[in-house]
């Protein structure tokens, strides 16, 4: 009880200190006809106001050239929002304000909201400079804590700073590396005009993602482009960048390379860029099916770039989860053996379905949602694609 009381007293003291410190920084409430030079200033003002009052804001898509709506996330269907019009003078003016909330406000928790977890450009620059100077991450972050007079004043957590530096380190090519890569691509292009390459740069002009495909890969795609496997399980050790491979199979059952890429991050944005670059290189000819590992970011990018392609998980990745999902059973070893027999030795969908049902009944696995749900569907899909197009396991 004494500890709890001490924490309450400490929180009250912190609140009082915060109120004193914030008194001079208090923002006035939004009012009709307030004028801003840029639409970003409207967003910044309302975000700061929301942070002070204790709620989070999100930005709705602009539906016309002279209107922007800034409103709360719709998780609680809150109607609070401000609306701004673009005036003939080129400035933005608030014309509608609703400050009625259907939820509680939490001023002390707003720094945890997604809209307030940002790394400003000057912060990014200092993080990078300190990292280059050899300053450890915890010391690097603590310098901002001390300068900001505590964690509450910061707009980011140590985790976000650490993740940012991890991405930047992947992009820090050594002196001459980027030029050497560009020169190599130019040489390949001059030797064969069908060689294709694309380079993606970030806002600071730093190399972010790279894609290339030679003439043989592009020619092979025209003949064997029905199904492709996409694999990012390889790493370039020097820069810790995922090495992405587009692979198909020819009429001899041999694997053929259909393009390569280096990506700075395994997120939806990077995968989308890589898929679009590959599609452009391959004459915008869409694959009938694509097989990948079980990655949510990759799945979103595929749905965006290849909306009509059959997307199935790689059989190897599916089977790798067997110990995690089935080890709790006493007959785990016999279950695993029989399951592998059914999966790898079924030649048709009908045969697989029949043997699978017998396998489930044999070991009384009718209540295992993983086996009876998406796992079964993906095995069937991957099997058919592998047998029909590849003539082998994916």
For position 344, what pLDDT does the model report? Answer: 86
305 plus 324 within the same structural domain: no
Closest CA to 281 of 340, 225, 349: 225
- In this prediction, residues 165-169 reach a mean pLDDT of 69
- CB count within 10 Å of CB 366 equals 9
256 plus 363 within the same structural domain: no
| Domain membership flag for residue 372 | yes
Structural domain of residue 337, as residue ranges?
A: 317-390
Any idea what the CATH number is for the domain that residue 237 is in? 3.30.420
User: With contact defined as beta carbons under 8 Å apart, do 97 and 32 qualify?
Assistant: yes
| Domain membership flag for residue 13 | yes
**Domain endpoint, select from 313, 332, 364:** 313
362 plus 298 within the same structural domain: no
- CB count within 10 Å of CB 85 equals 13
| Domain membership flag for residue 181 | no
255 plus 292 within the same structural domain: yes
For position 4, what pLDDT does the model report? Answer: 45
| Residue 208 pLDDT class (50, 70, 90 cuts) | confident
User: With contact defined as beta carbons under 8 Å apart, do 204 and 220 qualify?
Assistant: no
> Is residue 143 pLDDT above 80, yes or no?
yes
Distance of CA 313 to the CA centre of its chain: 18
For position 99, what pLDDT does the model report? Answer: 78
Q: What percent of the chain has pLDDT over 70?
A: 71
pLDDT by residue (tens digit) across 15-63?
444 444 444 456 678 888 888 888 878 887 887 787 777 776 765 444 4
Closest CA to 129 of 165, 95, 156, 155: 165
For position 158, what pLDDT does the model report? Answer: 78
Tokens of 35: 């004028």
| Domain membership flag for residue 183 | no
83 plus 110 within the same structural domain: yes
DSSP conformation class of 387: I
129 plus 29 within the same structural domain: no
| Residue 161 pLDDT class (50, 70, 90 cuts) | confident
| Domain membership flag for residue 186 | no
74 plus 95 within the same structural domain: yes
304 plus 355 within the same structural domain: no
Note the pTM of the prediction, 2 decimals.
0.58
Task: Please state, rounded to an integer, the average pLDDT across all residues of the chain.
Answer: 77
Number of domains in the chain: 4
Instruction: Quote the CA–CA distance of 349 and 260 in Å, as a whole number.
Output: 33
| Domain membership flag for residue 180 | no
| Domain membership flag for residue 349 | yes
| Domain membership flag for residue 189 | no
160 plus 135 within the same structural domain: yes
156 plus 226 within the same structural domain: no
For position 377, what pLDDT does the model report? Answer: 66
109 plus 125 within the same structural domain: no
| Residue 86 pLDDT class (50, 70, 90 cuts) | confident
Distance of CA 8 to the CA centre of its chain: 39
For position 100, what pLDDT does the model report? Answer: 77
For position 120, what pLDDT does the model report? Answer: 74
Point out the least confidently predicted range of 81-90, 188-197, 297-306. 81-90
Instruction: Quote the CA–CA distance of 265 and 167 in Å, as a whole number.
Output: 7
Exposed/middle/buried for residue 64 (C-beta within 10 Å: 0-12, 13-18, 19+): exposed
Q: Alpha-carbon dihedral of residues 29, 30, 36, 42, nearest 10 degrees? A: 100
Tokens of 327: 């080890």
pLDDT by residue (tens digit) across 276-327?
999 999 988 999 999 998 788 899 999 999 999 988 888 888 888 889 889 9
226 plus 283 within the same structural domain: yes
Query: What stretches of 80-149 show up as alpha helix (H) in DSSP?
Result: 121-132, 137-147
Most confident by average pLDDT, 77-81, 164-168, 312-316: 312-316
Point out the least confidently predicted range of 37-41, 57-61, 71-75, 234-238. 71-75
**Domain endpoint, select from 73, 89, 116:** 116
Point out the least confidently predicted range of 125-139, 144-158, 221-235, 271-285. 144-158
**Domain endpoint, select from 291, 313, 335:** 313
């Amino acid at each position: 009880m004494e500890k709890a009381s001490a924490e309450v007293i400490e929180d009250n003291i912190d609140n009082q200190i915060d109120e004193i410190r914030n008194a001079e920084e208090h923002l006035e409430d939004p009012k009709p006809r307030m004028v801003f030079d840029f639409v970003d200033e409207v967003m910044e003002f309302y975000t700061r106001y929301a942070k002070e009052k204790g709620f989070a804001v999100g930005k709705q898509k602009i539906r016309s050239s002279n209107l922007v709506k800034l409103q709360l996330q719709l998780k609680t269907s809150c109607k609070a929002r401000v609306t701004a019009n673009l005036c003939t003078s080129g400035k933005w003016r608030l014309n509608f304000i609703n400050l009625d909330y259907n939820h509680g406000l939490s001023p002390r928790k707003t720094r945890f909201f997604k809209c307030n977890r940002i790394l400003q450009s000057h912060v990014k620059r200092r993080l990078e400079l300190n990292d280059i100077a050899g300053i450890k991450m915890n010391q690097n972050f603590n310098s901002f804590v001390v300068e900001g007079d505590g964690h509450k004043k910061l707009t980011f957590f140590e985790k976000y700073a650490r993740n940012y530096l991890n991405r930047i380190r992947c992009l820090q090519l050594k002196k001459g590396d980027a030029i050497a890569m560009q020169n190599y691509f130019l040489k390949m292009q001059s030797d064969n005009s069908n060689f294709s390459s694309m380079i993606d740069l970030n806002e600071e002009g730093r190399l972010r993602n790279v894609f290339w495909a030679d003439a043989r890969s592009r020619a092979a795609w025209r003949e064997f482009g029905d199904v492709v496997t996409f694999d990012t399980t390889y790493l370039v050790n020097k820069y810790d960048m995922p090495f992405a491979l587009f692979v198909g199979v020819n009429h001899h059952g041999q694997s053929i390379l259909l393009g390569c890429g280096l990506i700075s991050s395994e997120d939806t944005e990077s995968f989308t860029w890589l898929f679009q670059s590959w599609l452009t290189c391959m004459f915008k000819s869409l694959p009938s099916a694509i097989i990948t590992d079980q990655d949510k970011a990759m799945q979103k990018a595929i749905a965006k770039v290849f909306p009509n392609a059959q997307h199935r998980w790689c059989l190897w990745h599916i089977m790798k989860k067997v110990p995690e999902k089935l080890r709790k059973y006493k007959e785990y070893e016999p279950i695993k053996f029989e399951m592998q027999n059914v999966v790898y030795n079924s030649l048709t969908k009908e045969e697989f379905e029949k043997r699978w049902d017998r396998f489930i009944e044999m070991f009384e696995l009718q209540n295992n949602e993983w086996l009876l749900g998406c796992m079964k569907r993906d095995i069937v899909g991957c099997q058919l694609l592998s047998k029909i197009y590849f003539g082998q396991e994916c």
